[in-house]
Amino acid sequence: MPRTLPTTEELRTRARAALDRVGVTLDEDAGAGPGAGDVQHARTPLTGEVLFPVPATTPAAADEAVADARRAFLTWRSTPAPRRGELVRRLGELLRAHQGDLADLVTIEAGKIRSEALGEVQEMIDICDFAVGLSRQLYGRTIASERPGHRLAETWHPLGVVGVISAFNFPCAVWSWNTAVALACGDTVVWKPSELTPLISLACARLLERAAADVGAPDGVHRLLIGDRAVGERLVDDFRVALVSATGSTRMGREVGPRVAARFGRSLLELGGNNAAIVAPSADLDLTVRGIVFAAAGTAGQRCTTLRRLIAHRDIADALVARLTAAYAQLPIGDPFDEATLVGPLISAAALDRMQEAVARAQAEGGKVLVGGGRRLADVAPDAAYVEPVVVRMGAQTGVVREETFAPILYVMTYETLEEAIALHNDVPQGLSSSIFTRDQAEAELFLSAEGSDCGIANVNIGTSGAEIGGAFGGEKETGGGRESGSDAWRAYMRSATNTVNYSGRLALAQNISFL
């Protein structure tokens, strides 16, 4: 087990070096644009300590940023889409060249282990590739007109300024899903990242700024707002922001959605998940255990796709739980830069408090802790939050199980019939990701059918987390209904127009109407 951690000073040096290679200088003007005044503090969950002060965006500068993005939109929307793709291609090249630097910043600020941090940057590279292709595939349809000599068609146009609000746990990939696609679609972007991850945000913004300069795109295609909730609220309420794409808690989405709707803006919400896996009697238990441990304990339980509920058939539940507890007991927890580590720190001491409260509630609601839950490295780093992922066996899906706690807690329940398992699976307010582990094809198909999982993501023999960018990402119910990333999620970033063209030389009205 790793017993040592890097010091805050070592992390500062490493962050400074990565920022320097990317082209960010941490000074009064760094990234926050004109009018920078207040300061925000970059921290690292590795030690729980402050790294650097970062200039925050003032409200006036935030308004100016939206104005810049709006101005840039007026030229960007008329730039041919394949040329817009060149900006995204250049961004992808820069992301490839700086994959290690960006991964360093993700580890330092979000606490991800090395391979997951590199994986997050890989998602950015992949979505850039996807969006470059998309820039030649923004297809509309032609529709058979009911009138002779008429053509009916659907055209897709850029939407406007897209406001991106992102969370600490995917501090750069979620930005890239939105930004790469929005730019290809002809939109411009104003980004309000999590307050907890300003450094990686400055690095991404700088690389995009460099890409824009390299290909001659307007500089205002992207603006970064460093700040707290008040800065995010300006984006939400600004009528010049056509789409607000927000990732975060259901509580945040409950505020953002109605406020954007009140001004008839569009919103795309990626909110909480409370993802479950059903493990059927025929499941391959070796594969299942590995799939579960990555999904439940990976990223220290801090993905919106993290596996939080396990619904195991009663005939295999004990065997499964025995293997799981053995695997959990071996998990290397500690320094995420150490190649052997699989579980890094929670983002903050407050996150640890919430985890401990949830475990205590689960116990009060009849749950039994089977493994984990202890704090680690408190002597070395008293301000950090290293914790053992925990497995709690529950007699029923009680109140706490139906809530999302953003920590590595896996609640285990049992079932007898698949119908019962699916009912339990769907009986939570959230609807993001889901899995079934089975070798019975009929069971798998039922789970994927309209009567099965009610989530936006439904998997077979693979865990709930770690989706590829090629599919649409998002979920139902309190998860918010948005779809981002691949497939045809791009349509949310454009507006469609229906065109009727009469080339007949005669006026023919639809629905056989006679007039004049």
Q: Give 8 or 465: the residue with its C-beta nearer to ligand UN1.
A: 465
Q: Tokens in use for 146?
A: 């009911």
Rounded Cα distance between 71 and 5, Å, is 47
Cα distance between residue 453 and residue 426, in whole Å: 6
Contacts with 256 (C-beta within 8 Å, 6 or more apart), sequence order: 165, 236, 244, 246, 267, 269
Q: Which CB atom, from 57 or from 435, has the smaller least distance to ligand UN1?
A: 435
Smallest distance from ligand UN1 to CB 270, Å: 6
One-character DSSP codes across 452-507:
S--SSEEEESS-SS---TTSEE--EETT-S--EESTTGGGGGEEEEEEEEE-SSS-
Helix (H) or strand (E) holding 191: strand 188-192
- The closest of 301, 381, 358, 333 to 45, measured between CA atoms, is 381
Using the minimum distance from each CB to ligand UN1, give the nearer residue, 418 or 457: 457
Nearer to ligand UN1, 28 or 468 (CB): 468
- 36: its two tokens: 């920078």
> Residue 174 or residue 224: which is nearer to ligand UN1 going by CB?
174
Q: Which residues pair with 192 in a beta bridge?
A: 165
Q: How far apart are CA 375 and CA 48, in angstroms?
A: 14
**Three-state SS at 268:** strand
The residue number with the shortest CB distance to ligand UN1 is: 467
CA gap 496, 331 in Å, rounded: 50
The candidate with the shortest Cα–Cα distance to 235, out of 226, 227, 244, 224, is 244
Minimum CB–partner distance for residue 98 and ligand UN1 (Å): 20
Name the minimum Å distance from CB 196 to ligand UN1.
Answer: 14
Distance CA(246)–CA(255), nearest Å, equals 11
Known catalytic residues? 270
**Between 107 and 247, whose beta carbon lies closer to ligand UN1?**
247
Which residues of this protein are in contact with ligand UN1, per CB under 6 A? Answer: 123, 169-170, 174, 247, 303-305, 465-467
Q: Are 402 and 374 in contact (CB under 8 A)?
A: no
Q: Which residues pair with 245 in a beta bridge?
A: 164, 268
Closest approach of ligand UN1 to the CB of residue 489, in Å? 13
CB of 47 or CB of 247, closer to ligand UN1 = 247
Residue 247 Cβ vs ligand UN1, minimum distance, rounded to whole Å: 6
Distance between CA atoms of residues 343 and 334, nearest Å:
6
Smallest separation (angstroms) from ligand UN1 to the CB of 406: 10
The answer to whether 332 touches 1, Cβ cutoff 8 Å, is: yes
Looking up tokens 């700040």, which residue turns up? 227
Query: To the nearest whole angstrom, how small is the minimum distance from the Cβ of residue 351 to ligand UN1?
Result: 14
Which residue lies nearer to ligand UN1 by CB, 275 or 288? 275
Max CA distance (Å), the chain: 88
Q: Which is nearer to ligand UN1, 119 or 140 (CB)?
A: 119
Q: Over 5-30, what HEC string results?
A: CCCHHHHHHHHHHHHHHHCCCCCCCC
Spatial contact of 110 and 45, defined as CB atoms under 8 Å apart:
yes
Using CB atoms within 10 Å of the CB of residue 71, give its burial: 0 to 12 exposed, 13 to 18 middle, 19+ buried. Answer: middle
- Shortest approach of ligand UN1 to residue 174 CB, angstroms? 6
| Pair 458, 447: CB distance under 8 Å | yes
CB of 219 to ligand UN1, least distance (A): 29
